[in-house]
Amino acid sequence: MRHLIILSVVIGASVSTLGQKTILDGNSLATQCESQEKLNAGQGLSDQEFAKGTFCVGYIRGVLDTMVTWKAIDKAKSKPGTTPHPCIPDTVPNSQAVKITLKFLKDHPERLHLPADVLVFQAMHQAFPCR
């Protein structure tokens, strides 16, 4: 219950930033995802770190779900051989998506000023190119 309350506060704070030009950049996403990485490693987390890790997974999953939708739309509209989107297998779990994204963020610090959704897209495109 305590984690649910904290998560609600984090989500509420995130929604209040909608008026900003960029809601989340790569620096912020990396910070959030490092908490999730600690949780995946079995380390104990504070309530704030738990909320950050949960936000990370939810954010990346949301981007992935959007990509799946784009893929379905593109498949219906695109010409054969063109794939502007990644080809993410349906079986990719959240934990793998977080690892891929965090690795991409660590490997490309020069891009951390870019919007986080763009960086998640680039990470998945690199990891799952269409062939």
Q: What is the pLDDT of residues 38-89, one digit of tens each?
A: 998 999 999 999 999 999 999 999 988 888 767 766 665 666 655 667 888 8
Q: How many CB atoms lie within 10 A of CB 54?
A: 21
Residue 9 pLDDT > 50: no
The more confident residue out of 34 and 130 is 34
Quote the domain boundaries for residue 93: 2-127
**DSSP letters along 61-96, please?**
HHHHHHHHHHHHHHHHHSPTT---S----TT--HHH
pTM: 0.58
Q: What is the pLDDT of residues 94-131, one digit of tens each?
A: 899 999 999 999 999 999 998 888 889 889 989 998 87
Q: Which two tokens stand for residue 40?
A: 């995946």
What's the CA angle centered on 15, arms 120 and 52, to 5 degrees? 55
pLDDT for the residue numbered 13: 47
Number of domains in the chain: 1
